[in-house]
């Protein structure tokens, strides 16, 4: 079996045990795979070990990922190790959900169009019609599903249908201003990323930047996290922060906040698609370069 991918990512997790690094790196050597990058972390409090390796098979045309996984499973089982093998070139099927704010969507579409984010955007879903022209300009399907308190269940059923039909692996809430139901959160566990300003929990509700201005905040930021059924408190993937001072009026804080949201969301998506994010006990482990 042949494949066009020349670089692969092997990510794994197991209990902290002697030889947990060796079982992976030795196997790659025996398979004549050259490791181009490796990073690991041992959480001594949780007794969990995490490792991620990027590698390049010496004989690319003969690399059989199915056989590789089957052979490695024999080694990994002795450590109760779970693992995932992914081609580094894989474009992740993605749905983006938005409301009216367009800054994060604009940024993601630009990064997608220029190849900075290897996403395969299947559709844009919104509870408002406002951003449909932007989707049309990029040649992307746009689904407008209005929602009220009485139609939330049926509206989410339509969203689930889009996810299933497109086989989306990732859902990005790019300033989607609706609270997802617990059932929807459970469906999307580990594969839905949300972005919000980091003024929470101190400044909730409408006009948070105006509230922050009145209190004289000296920092503004953004948080990107996986969703769960605890509003805006899912496992954190990335955060960004910038200093501000008395010369920043509410409008200036809003502008700065939008920029940080865009950068932080893009960073979180990049970490996710590069298989650098591990989940354990409700928190994340991020294996960077």
Residues 137/138/140/142 CA torsion (nearest 10 deg): -40
**Which are the contacts of 208, defined by CB distance < 8 A and separation ≥ 6?**
197, 199, 200
| 8 Å CB contact between 85 and 7 | no
Q: How far is CA 222 from CA 28, 126, 127, in A?
A: 39, 22, 23
Q: Rounded to whole angstroms, what are the CA distances from 154 to 108, 136, 159, 188, 229?
A: 28, 25, 9, 17, 19
Quote the CA–CA distance of 2 and 18 in Å, as a whole number.
35
Beta strands 192-197; 219-226: pairing state: antiparallel
Only one residue has tokens 């930047």, namely 209
Q: Contact at 8 Å (CB) between 23 and 78?
A: yes
Catalytic residues, which ones?
Answer: 232
Q: Is 211 exposed, middle or buried (0-12, 13-18, 19+ CB in 10 A)?
A: middle
DSSP states along 38-60: EEEEEETTTTEEEEEEEEEESSG
Please give the backbone phi and psi of residue 241, each rounded to the nearest 5 degrees, phi first. Answer: -150, 145
Counting beta carbons within 10 angstroms of the beta carbon of residue 233, is it exposed (0 to 12), middle (13 to 18) or buried (19 or more)?
A: middle
């Amino acid at each position: 079996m042949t494949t066009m991918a020349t670089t692969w990512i092997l990510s794994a997790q197991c209990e902290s045990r002697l030889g947990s690094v060796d079982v992976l790196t030795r196997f790659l050597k025996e398979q004549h795979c050259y490791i181009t990058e490796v990073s690991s972390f041992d959480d001594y409090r949780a007794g969990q070990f995490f490792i991620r390796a990027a590698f390049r098979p010496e004989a690319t045309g003969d690399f059989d990922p199915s056989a590789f996984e089957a052979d490695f499973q024999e080694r990994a089982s002795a450590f109760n190790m779970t693992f995932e093998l992914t081609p580094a070139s894989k474009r992740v099927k993605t749905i983006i959900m938005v409301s009216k704010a367009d800054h994060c969507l604009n940024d993601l579409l630009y990064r997608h169009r220029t190849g900075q984010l290897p996403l395969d955007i299947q559709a844009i879903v919104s509870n408002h019609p406002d951003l449909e022209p932007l989707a049309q300009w990029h040649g992307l399907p746009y689904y407008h599903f209005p929602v009220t308190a009485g139609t939330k269940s049926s509206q989410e059923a339509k969203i689930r249908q889009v996810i299933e039909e497109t086989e989306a692996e990732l859902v990005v809430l790019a300033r989607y201003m609706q609270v997802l139901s617990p059932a929807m959160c459970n469906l999307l566990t580990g594969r839905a990323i949300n972005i919000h300003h980091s003024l929470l929990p101190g400044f909730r509700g409408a006009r948070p930047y105006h509230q922050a201005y009145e209190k004289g905040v000296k920092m503004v930021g953004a948080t990107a996290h996986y969703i769960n059924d605890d509003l805006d408190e899912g496992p954190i993937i990335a955060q960004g922060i910038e200093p501000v001072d008395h010369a920043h009026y509410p409008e200036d804080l809003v502008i700065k906040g939008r920029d940080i949201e865009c950068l932080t969301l893009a960073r979180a998506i990049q970490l996710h698609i590069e298989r650098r994010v591990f989940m354990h006990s409700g928190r994340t482990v991020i294996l960077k370069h």
